[in-house]
Amino acid sequence: MTPMIYILNGPNLNLLGRRQPEIYGRETLDDVAAACAAIGAEAGLQTRLLQSNWEGQIVDWIHEAREAAAGIIINPAALTHTSVAVLDALNTFEGPVIEVHISQVHKREAFRHHSYVSHRADAVMAGFGVHGYALAMRHMAHLLG
Ligand code: CA2
């Protein structure tokens, strides 16, 4: 069976490509889904990109991924900096976890410099724009290959 990669996105990322293009660029989450699916197809991986503005929904998808996915790519958005619940959920997942940030969070406000999710992530991308998701997909293929 083709391994599945969950690509999870947190609060406000539904607005990607529609607001603050100077920080987050002009590509939408649908563009990201298409780019990741294309890389997955090359690498023999299925992808499922999901976005929610609700912390509990992200936690539920991580639980679902325990059975359904071989790896997780996650941009937790603001939950990165606040959510022990997302960290605890990721700690129950056995496959590779890659954390993605579109912006270079370490160049931004001090409150964006700490990530709860980084305590679990096997790799972290920041500042590559939405291309960071594609790079994460390639690394995921390498890790699972
Ligand atoms: O750089 C990233 O990817 C972030 O995870 C984005 C979060 C921010 O809280 C993190 O510190 C860094 C914000 C996501 C908001 O997404 C928007 C996208 C387009 C327009 C407005 C918001």
pLDDT (tens digit per residue) in 45-93: 999 999 999 999 999 999 999 999 999 999 999 999 999 999 999 999 9
Token pair in block for residue 125 = 């991308």
Cα–ligand 1 centroid distance for 145 (angstroms): 30
- Residues counted in the chain: 145
3-state secondary structure of 16: coil
Q: Compute the distance from residue 128 Cα to the ligand 1 centre, in Å.
A: 13
Q: How far is the CA of 78 from the centre of ligand 1 (A)?
A: 7
**Residue 125 near ligand 1, beta carbon < 6 Å:** no
> Which ligand 1 atom lies nearest to the CA of residue 20?
20
Q: What is the pLDDT of residue 110?
A: 98
Q: Which two tokens stand for residue 139?
A: 């690394």
